Every structure is written in structure tokens, then in C-alpha cells.
Amino acid sequence: MPVSSSPATRLVHLGRPDPLPGAALSPPVTFTSTFHADGPVDYGRGGNPTWSAFETAVGDLEGGDALVFASGMGAIAAAMSLLAPGGVLVAPVSAYSGTVVLVEELAARGAAVVRRVDITDTAAVVAALDGAGLLWVESPTNPLMAVADLPALVEAAHDAGAVVVVDNTFATPLLQQPLRLGADLVVHSATKYLSGHSDVILGVAVSAPTQVGRTAYETLSRYRRAHGAIAGPMETWLALRGLRTMHLRVERACANATALVDRLQDHPAVARVRYPGFGAMVSIDVVGDAAAAERVCAATRIWVHSTSLGGVESQLERRRRHALEPASVPENLVRLSVGIEDVEDLWRDLAQALDSV
């Protein structure tokens, strides 16, 4: 690939085959369950060239070594395995509901002692780190869009002897690189911005180029093989193809989000706008109750009423409609994943939906 410090250039060229005469420009999809003996990989649960291409690209972007998983939850579960049985896990009160459920399950079966914190209250997090083995961070948080002081939390966690894992799904490596701020591991739902087209279920974990990071990489690699949390080659290839345009998608979605936030703040049906100041994820508290928020979601025609994010299409949903969503999330909160459509079309559609309240 060309030597470049630009993520845009690296996104286009990373993970491609060597530029030999007559070679394919794009990597093939390798469909195989086994390999001829005496090579670097013997069985399909241990590796795949399509995985390697995707892992090379994402690892370079985050500044570490990547491992692809069958889903974002697969990567999250693998990362949680870094905590010793019965160890202390410091985790956010409000976070992605799948993560919250997994943390609660670990606590219920005695696999972890969980200390729940407001991840934006740095002093409270530091106070909870005494004796901790793992600090889990989301920033921005899902769906409240709160921002943590990552450098301060990483330093305090390492002083306490804890491993730091950051879910970087919302920010993407284009807007935030936690490993360069000292984190030990980053996880992504690659279903979201990395693949970007709402057609893939995939996860990835990226470990830091440090001793702790290398140990984490080996632990997660064994976990992936032993637990069968492996990605399909077709899904991985699609994610790599989607990755090529992530810089364009994120740039457009962020610009759209900024424009919409300015207008949402003045709309009488919006009680509160939750926006971290960067990225393309926004949450709003609709004036009224849960039913009012549901009416907004049901009234859009361009915005897709669905439960995901990070695709080219704009999506929205009332998060508390899901039984597993933490009670810290207001009943009238609507999460917006701003896509790449024409911003005027997005605003007209969203405004008429809000007017229906």
C-alpha cells in the first residue's frame, strides 16, 4: 500500500494482495473449512485469508492487532474473558444494552464483582478502581451520548493494575483511537460504521502493541477458536469492502448530524438534544411520554424505524421499547443514527414527524 499517514488513503489500500504482475486488486473470498497440512493454519476455526485482510486494515486504523469475531457481542464476550474469574469489573451504569446484560449475567453467576459507575464522573470511576481487574468504557455512551475522559481513566486504571477496554463503535477509528490514548483493547460492532451498509453481522477486537495488549491478543485468539466465535468469510469480505468508503460515509454523516443538531435544539417538540460534539449519533428527548416518542418514530418516511446504527441510511428508534435497555435511559429518548442522505430531506422528514407530537 502507499506510504501515507492519511486514514482515507489507508482505508482504500489496506488489506489488498501484494501488487504482483497479474495479481487481483481485491482480495478473494476464501471459502474453506480446512487447509493442507504444514501451513500456518490447519483448520478454518483458526484462521482465514479473508479474515487476515480485514484484520490488517482495522488493526492499522486503530494502531494495534485485530481479531475478527462473528458479531460485536462475540468480541465483547471475548474481551470480558480477560477478567479473572471472580475479579472486579468496573462498568458504566448506562451502556449498550447487550453489554449491560452480559455484565449482569457475569455478576449473577459469581464470575465477576461488578461496580457500576457514571463513566463521565472521573473521580467516581477512579474511586471504584481499587482492586479492579478490568475497566470497561464506552465513549460516547449508547444511547445517552456521554463522553468520558479517556486519558485520565486509562492512567488511573493502569495505576490500579486494571486492563482497559474501550468500545469504540460510535466514534470509529477515524474520530477516536483509544489505543493511542493508552487503552489495552478496543472493540467494535463492525456491523455498524466499519461495514456501513446494514448487511453484515460482525465484530472486531484490536489489542495494543504492548505486553498487556499482546497477552490480551493471545487470550482472545484462544477464546475465538475454543468458543467458535468465528466470522464467515463472506461477511468479512463485505465488511472490508464497506471499509473502503468509511471516511466518505463518516464525513458526510457527521456533517449531516451537525446541521440537524442545530435545528433540533430549536424545535418545540424536543426537550433535550444529546450530542457529544462529534460523530453522527444523536439522541433526543421528545416532549411528552413514551407514546409521543413512538409517534415520532412511526411518522418518518425517509428515516428508517429500526434497531441498528452506522449504516448509510438514517435510522431512529425509542430505545426503551427494548426490555433489556437500562432504566437510566429515559422512556421518551429517541436515538438517531444520521446517515448520508440529503440533509434537507432528512430535516423535512424528521421535522414533520416531530410536528405530529
113-166 residue pLDDT tens: 999 999 999 999 999 999 999 999 999 999 999 999 999 999 999 999 999 999
Average pLDDT, the chain: 97
Find the catalytic residue in 10, 60, 65, 96: 96
Q: Over the stretch 60-108, which tens digit does the pLDDT of each residue have?
A: 999 999 999 999 999 999 999 999 999 999 999 999 999 999 999 999 9
Residue 347, pLDDT above cutoff 70: yes
Asked if residue 326 has a cis previous peptide bond (ω within 30° of 0), the answer is no
pLDDT attached to residue 4:
86
Q: Region of 35 please: left (phi>0), alpha (psi -120 to 50) or beta.
A: beta
Torsion of CA 160, 166, 140, 281, to 10 degrees: 180
Q: State the Cα–Cα distance between residues 345 and 347, nearest whole angstrom.
A: 5
Q: State the Cα–Cα distance between residues 76 and 91, nearest whole angstrom.
A: 13
Catalytic, 45? Answer yes
Q: For the purposes of burial, counting CB atoms within 10 Å of the CB of 205, is it exposed (0-12), middle (13-18) or buried (19 or more)?
A: buried
pLDDT tier, 357 (very low <50, low <70, confident <90, very high otherwise): confident
Q: Over the stretch 268-296, which tens digit does the pLDDT of each residue have?
A: 999 999 999 999 999 999 999 999 999 99
Find the catalytic residue in 10, 16, 115, 192: 192
Distances (CA, A) of 293 to 10, 208, 343: 41, 41, 22
Find the catalytic residue in 45, 214, 263, 272: 45
Across the range 226-235, mean pLDDT stands at 97
Find the catalytic residue in 60, 65, 167, 184: 167
pLDDT attached to residue 3:
66
**φ, ψ for residue 211, nearest 5 deg:** -60, -45
Query: With contact defined as beta carbons under 8 Å apart, do 259 and 346 qualify?
Result: no
Q: State the Cα–Cα distance between residues 181 and 193, nearest whole angstrom.
A: 21
Catalytic, 96? Answer yes
Residue 216, pLDDT above cutoff 60: yes
Catalytic, 262? Answer no
Query: With contact defined as beta carbons under 8 Å apart, do 71 and 201 qualify?
Result: yes
Catalytic, 192? Answer yes
Residue indicated by cell numbers 474501550: 166
- Give the strand pairing for 270-274 and 281-286: antiparallel
Cell numbers given for 221: 485468539
pTM to 2 decimals?
Answer: 0.96
